[in-house]
Amino acid sequence: MIFSRHIQILLRDVYCDIYREDPFGVRFSLTPMPRLEIESVEDIKILHEIGAMTPDLSLRLSRVLVGEDPFQNRAKRRRTQAQNEQKQSAHENEQKAENKGRQDQNPAKNKNDAGTKPKPEKGLSI
């Protein structure tokens, strides 16, 4: 109740500053809504029917009622993503090691094809 009174005074002061009104002529009345305890899916259905809840929020609340932890999926995705990144990094390291081993076994096929004549560049030479 104290919080809503504070907000009423704040709204009045802001309104008066913006519209240059007399504070004694302006009054805001806020009615605090009682909190509803959701005990069943029926409570969610009623709130949805009166437009007090979005479909996304009703889905999240339904999952909580069923016993799913909404943060569990997020943590599971993070673990899976980290594992996939580790696997990809290990695979890339293996490929680099294989490529390096191939280059060491066949030095003639290194970058500039050592042991062959350089190819002449196209174009005019003076």
Residue 126: band (very low, low, confident or very high) from pLDDT cuts 50, 70, 90: low
Is residue 121 included in any domain, yes or no? Answer: no
Domain span at residue 43? Answer: 38-68
Is residue 112 included in any domain, yes or no? Answer: no
Judge if pTM exceeds 0.75: no
Q: Please write the tens of the pLDDT for every residue from 13-41.
A: 999 999 999 999 999 888 776 666 777 77
Q: Domain total for the chain?
A: 3
Q: What DSSP designation does 39 have?
A: -
In sequence order, which residues have a C-beta less than 8 Å from that of residue 22 and are 6 or more positions away? Answer: 16
Q: What DSSP designation does 64 have?
A: H
